[in-house]
Structure 1
Amino acid sequence: MGKKQKVQAGVLPVRQQNGRIDVLLITSRTVGRWILPKGNVKRHQTPIEAARQEAYEEAGIRGRIDPEPLGRYLHGRPGDQRWVEVYLMTVEEELDDWPERHERTRRWMPLDEARQVIYEDGLRALLDRLPDELARRQQGRKLSPRASRLLVVLLLLASLALAFGGTYYLARLLARPEVQQRLQELERQEDPAPSSDSVRF
């Protein structure tokens, strides 16, 4: 049976400014290559906890880590390889002093530049899919126009219900013809009838 590969966790610190994506990289302690903050996942840790710890110790950063991994890549030399689970981080604090400050350099750089300086193919592949992944996650966090309008209406109705007698009043309010009509109008705005030239058989 083959030797079990070690598992590491790391963060990819990301920021977006005026449509440009920047990532923060650090140098390795040995040969000074540009890498991600990463480290082993200890027995008592989750991957996210390990990633947060390495972000502080190696790069001196703190922030919000997205719980959905960006992906993983294989790191290390043949015979001593490990999978690195990578999480996106929105940096909220950059410290002036941190444990490995004198052993590493950290730097924000545009995504295109980061692609060029990264030497690991697996990590470069993660950077290649970063723009699409950021767009997907941001879109997933947004409410659709229909959901937003319905949410506003429902919040208003709930507020009125609490102010004037709870669920009984809310039920009566929802049953009123003008409320029903307004909700139907919102539905029609999102689901227009198909035109004749858009119907296919």
Structure 2
Amino acid sequence: MTRLVLATHNAGKVTELRQILADVGVEAELLGMDSFPEVADVVETGVTFAANALLKAHAVAQATQLPAIADDSGLAVDVLGGSPGVFSARWAGRHGDDLLNLQLLLAQLGDVPDEHRRAHFACAAALALPDGTEQVWHGTMPGYLIREPRGAGGFGYDPIFVPDEPEGNTLSSAEITPEQKNAISHRGQAFRSLAADLPKFLNT
């Protein structure tokens, strides 16, 4: 069975991709970075989601000599010209401080009317092979931003983001179930597209 590496220490993300691979009939053993403690984390210096995903995928493919998958994602707000974008996780200046990031974004949008609070989550998922072969798939989840956080699920900006799907939805991404979110999410879309194309890369 082919071995693949997903460039993450997030066990939930590994489980999600394993299920997607199984759903499309890809027989492969998917490993997370916890299986390779000797491999250093990759610094994300790209200015696009695709660039960051490719940086991680190529670095891990070279370090492990296995096909590697990586993703990068974030929130793009229309009136902010697509920001926070690749800086979503460190918008308030400190990487991974979800609450501060969310509070800063709400403050910046404080005087923006509801009809101009459109936004979308975007994801780029990259595959890199040890020989340098690469491919990127994309996914988006459109919606709008509310003024107060709602819901205890999700992470990041989920409590202030209401997806457009399903039609007529008024729940934030933090109020829907993980299964509902995965079915419409930007990362789910990108990973499903990658999984569907994966056999042609593994058979070359």
TM-score exceeds 0.5: no
**When the two structures are superposed, what TM-score results if normalisation uses the length of structure 1?**
0.25
**When the two structures are superposed, what TM-score results if normalisation uses the length of structure 2?**
0.25
Higher-Rg member (1/2) = 1
